[in-house]
Structures are given as structure tokens and as C-alpha cells.
Chains A and B, each alone.
Chain A
Amino acid sequence: MAGKRTMTLNLTEAEMTALEHLSTEKDMSKTAVLRQALRLYQVISTRMQTGERLFFEDDIAKEKKELVVL
């Protein structure tokens, strides 16, 4: 795999708790969760730049809610 670079990340207590929770839930290391989040953010951001929008759809309530991404 491609060479890697290291960085220090400062998280609040709440952010670290959320990261630990996701790490356990997804059976992935904290680094793996953050790398996956970056991949997802890049795809969403790229698609939104081309005019696409992101929605959550509730099949039962037949509701669609737009997710606003910074």
C-alpha cells in the first residue's frame, strides 16, 4: 500500500467517546474509522460540488430529509 504520513489529532472528550463508540461498533481501529470518514467526506463533497444533494429516506414514513454537509 502507499506510504503513510503521521499526524497528531486533538479531540475533545466527547469526540473521543464518539470515536471509541464507532470503533467498537464497526469493529475497526480508531485510525481506520477516521480514514473511512475522510473517504466518505471526500466522496460526498465531490458529488455535492457537481450539484447533487444528499438525503435520508424513511421508507415507512415516506419522508425525505436533506443532509446539509459543510
Chain B
Amino acid sequence: MDAALEDRHASCIVPATLIDRIGVAYAKLVDDLWLTFLTAEMAEAEAAGTPLVLPEHAHWRWTRKVEPTVHLLPYPTLAIECEGQPQGLMTLKTDGETARLPDEQGKPLVYVVFLASAPWNLPAVVARPRFRGVGTTLLRAAIETSLDLGFKGRIGLHSLPKAETFYARSGMTALGRDQKKENLEYFEMTSVQATAFIR
């Protein structure tokens, strides 16, 4: 599926591709590429005497996340690719999750299990991040999956601390810390919020 990202180095919008289900080989490629990049950045920062603060999801291994569920319909892992490289990944859970917001309580939603951008796109890792819009594009894909499944665009997720501002800015409602999920903030998007987001 066609998408677009902002190339911050070239200051222009460039075409990207959204892959709606990746396999284990692709997940392994992502692990290899992203870890190699992070390791090099860490070494460089160490040498410069300014140790890198790793992204909160630096320990995620996509191969381990994708492998157990690769053939199961409810748990797709999507990727956004640009210039032949994976720029971001997102795993969804499309069964058994329901809305918590009072007006939508009990209605099915798509739950975003994991969402991450490539390390070269993160301001915390590099001084000049490459592509902007990875998170927004993946969030839009989650909403479109929700619409496609008849869930009216409803999505939910637990946010890593440093991503909370992004989800709040995206129009999601924060429902408080969830003690059952490592005390992470739980966010939800209603069908109305989803419509506003993709407009």
C-alpha cells in the first residue's frame, strides 16, 4: 500500500510502502539493521564522551515477536518501508480487546501491541533524524485496520513513557496508568477521534 514520509535531510516528501504483514525473515532483517545501527551509534557516542541514552524499545527483538504469531490472522506485524529499508514496525492484536472509554465500553478495538521507528529516525539517537511521519503513518494503518475489520476505527494501546506526548497529540484519550501493564499509560481512540485523525 502506498504511503509517504518526510525526508528531513532532503526536506521533501518521499514515497513509502506500507507492508500489511511481514514474515520472520523480514523481522530478522529489521533486527540486524536496527541493532547494527544502534551499536555503531553507541560506539561513536561513547568515543565522543557522550554516552547514548537508548530508546525505550531498544531491547525489542522483532524476530521473537513475529515468529510465534506469523501465521495467525489476528496478530499482523506491519512495516513501513522507504528507500528499500524498514523505517518502522507495528504489531497489532485484532481479537479479544474491547474499548474502556465509557461511551464505547465493550466494543471491539484494534490493540497496538508494539510500535517502533527505526533508530536513524529518532532524535534521541541521532542529531539529524532521517524520516518523519513513521509513527503517524503506522497509527493511521492501525485505524484503517480497525475500519476494515468493522471496529469503526477504534484503537487502544499502552504507551512507553517517552511516546505519551505523541499519542496525546494524535488525539487519543489517556485513561490512566495500568498496573497490569507495567504501569504504562493506556490510550484509546474513539471512532470519532479516528475519523478526525485520518481526515
Q: A-side interface residues toward B, CB under 8 Å? A: 1-2, 26-29, 31-33, 35-36, 38-40, 42-43, 46
Partner of A35, one of B72, B96, B150, B152: B150
Cα separation A33 to B145 with both chains bound (whole Å): 15
Give the dominant DSSP class at A's interface. helix
- Residue interface mask B99-116, A partner, CB < 8 A = 1: 000000001100000000
Name the distance in Å between A54's Cβ and chain B's nearest Cβ. Answer: 13
In the complex, residue of chain B having the shortest beta-carbon distance to the beta carbon of A41:
B73
Q: Who on chain A is nearest to B107 by CB?
A: A27
Complex CA distance for A46 and B95, rounded to whole angstroms: 15
Closest-CB distance, B3 to chain A (whole angstroms): 13
- A1→B95 contact, CB < 8 A: no
Number of interface residues of B (CB under 8 A): 19
What residues of chain B lie closer than 8 Å to A39, measured between beta carbons? 72-74, 94-95
The answer to whether B71 has its CB under 8 Å from any CB of chain A is yes
Could you tell me the distance between the alpha carbons of A33 and B1 in the complex, rounded to whole angstroms? 25
A36 and B72 alpha carbons, distance in the complex (Å) = 12
Residues of B within 8 A of A42 (CB): 72-74
A27 to B151, CA, bound (A): 8
Q: A40-B74, A42-B73, A46-B72 are in contact. Are A32 and B149 (CB under 8 A)?
A: yes
**CA gap between A29 and B150 in the complex, in Å:** 6
Q: Is residue B28 contacting chain A, with contact meaning CB distance below 8 A?
A: no
Known: A27-B107, A28-B108, A39-B94. A1 touches B72 (CB 8 A): no
A8, B72: Cα distance in complex, Å: 24
Q: Across the interface, which residues of A come within 8 angstroms of B73, CB to CB? A: 38-39, 42-43
Q: A26-B108, A28-B108, A46-B72 are in contact. Are A36 and B21 (CB under 8 A)?
A: no
